[in-house]
Amino acid sequence: MGRLLSVGLAGVLAAGSLFLGAPAAAQVKKFELVATRKNLVVDEGVVWRAFTWNGRVPGPLLVVEEGDEVEITVRNADTITHGLSIHAASTQTSAVVGNIPAGQSRTLRFRADFPGVYMYHCAPGGHGILAHTMGGMFGMVVVEPKRTKYRLEEELGRPPDVRVYMVQHEVYGSGKDFADGRALYVTFNGYNFRYVTQPIQARPGDYVRFYYLNVGPNLVGSFHAVGGIWEYAYAGGNPQNVTRGLQTTIAAPTDSWVIEWRVPAEGSFLLVTHAFGVQAMKGAVGVLSAKKDGPRTAVVRPEGPNLPLPAKPKRVVDPFGLGSSDVDVPVRLRPGDPAFVRMVGNSYWPKVLEVPVGSRVTWVNEDVFDLLEGERTGMHNVTAVRGPTQLASPLLKHADRFTLEVRRPGEYEYICAIHPYMRAKLRVYRPGAEELARR
């Protein structure tokens, strides 16, 4: 398959050279993306158990030029399957770098034919693509145009004074919140209000170019500068898709823009997604601070910050496993209450369920994409790693159930046998007189 594809690619490249008159020896730009899981700091004292590329969220920025040959080696340094989907390639990348088993590497080559700003994300296959992307495995690719210049660069006859690579993305507390579109945080470049605490610095009159990408995975961003109007904005970042004088650029998940803007005056300009309640308030606000003769931030890179972990986190966010109790709030049921645990978005919900002895607890798989196998499937089960009794359910497809009558008090901690990072607890308690009286 790999050989067939490389022969095919060589053929396409040769044909392209004939028609487009590209230089015979195109540049080869090489990158390595390493799939790994890592705990990251996403707010002061807040730890996020993330799925990452190269230990950062967003992952590395990949910059190439239109017409470049791009070679990306994907190394899976994790214990579960990962893969890569890269939107800058007009070819089926999953055939080469999708579904890479733990410990293995694959290499993809493609030619960057279209200039613009693109997303890449994990692609183990099937349901896993959705879950791993939510987990943090995404980043930005920029294909700089060679044939057509951006307008403001042409008018001014010089490159930008400030380049801002900005990835908007969401952080979720659970797979259920992911499926419901209820983000816990929405950030620019991996940290809540990152550029409020560390403003981007510029001078009045500076030519600023934004490379803005909304990776989602759910929400539609609307990027705006308070006190500014985007002079030129290019849909997808392609210089041919020019629009003029926009207050906002609208970007659905994986949508992007190149924006050219001149800082109109001294002052602090807020950079926001104008969806105030569900996005801006949750972390997606920044500041560009302009001062005459002040310092300049020549380049703002999109990779998430690599901060030391707090000794005592005030909060732990673990979308698939057990975070701190203020995120994964225990749900306590009384005698006679129906007891259900849902499996959705590769996590259990509620993640901590407390039931009285004698309850019948039912797990239901709400993940619909139950096709394929292994990391790629939305099939799950319940396997106790500790508890008062042994517990291992059959594998459940969508809407399948498994019921257990709990007869002994104690705490079960359990995982899914095929997605072992899914982790939850079931506490079985002896009801006191008060709880029995409420029955």
Binding residues (CB under 5 A) for Cu ion: these are: 82, 122, 132, 137
Name, in order, each residue with C-beta under 8 angstroms of 5's C-beta and a sequence gap of 6 or more: 95, 96
Q: Where are the beta strands (DSSP E) in 217-264?
A: 221-225, 230-235, 242-246, 249-251, 255-262
CA end-to-end span of the chain: 64
Determine how β-strand 352-356 pairs with β-strand 423-429.
parallel
Nearest to Cu ion of 141, 233 (CB atom)? 141
Q: What are the two backbone dihedrals, phi and then psi, of residue 361, each rounded to the nearest 5 degrees?
A: -100, 130
CB of 34 to Cu ion, least distance (A): 11
CA 50 centroid distance within chain: 9
CB of 318 to Cu ion, least distance (A): 16
Question: Which residue type is seen at 261?
Answer: W
CB of 128 to Cu ion, least distance (A): 6
Report yes or no: 343 and 363 within 8 Å, Cβ to Cβ: yes
Nearest to Cu ion of 31, 363 (CB atom)? 31
Nearest to Cu ion of 37, 163 (CB atom)? 37
CB of 51 to Cu ion, least distance (A): 6
Nearest to Cu ion of 72, 137 (CB atom)? 137
| Structure-token match 């002994």, residue found | 408
Nearest to Cu ion of 349, 421 (CB atom)? 421
Report yes or no: 128 and 376 within 8 Å, Cβ to Cβ: yes
CB of 1 to Cu ion, least distance (A): 21
Nearest to Cu ion of 43, 375 (CB atom)? 375
CB of 178 to Cu ion, least distance (A): 15
**Cα(189)–Cα(380) distance, integer angstroms:** 32
Nearest to Cu ion of 172, 232 (CB atom)? 172
Nearest to Cu ion of 132, 425 (CB atom)? 132
Task: State whether the Cα torsion 100-101-102-103 is positive or negative.
Answer: negative
Nearest to Cu ion of 212, 421 (CB atom)? 421
Distances in Å between the Cα of 274 and the Cα atoms of 38, 130, 167, 282 are 31, 25, 15, 12
Report the candidate in 190, 171, 161 with the shortest Cα–Cα distance to residue 288: 161
CB of 375 to Cu ion, least distance (A): 8
Token pair of 436, please? Answer: 């029995």
Q: What are the two backbone dihedrals, phi and then psi, of residue 427, each rounded to the nearest 5 degrees?
A: -105, 125
CB of 85 to Cu ion, least distance (A): 10
Report yes or no: 215 and 310 within 8 Å, Cβ to Cβ: no
CB of 80 to Cu ion, least distance (A): 7
Nearest to Cu ion of 67, 378 (CB atom)? 378
**Cα(114)–Cα(111) distance, integer angstroms:** 9
Taking phi first (over 0 means left), then psi (-120 to 50 degrees means alpha), and beta for anything else, what does residue 388 get? alpha
**Cα(114)–Cα(427) distance, integer angstroms:** 55
CB of 303 to Cu ion, least distance (A): 18
Task: State whether the Cα torsion 181-183-189-194 is positive or negative.
Answer: positive
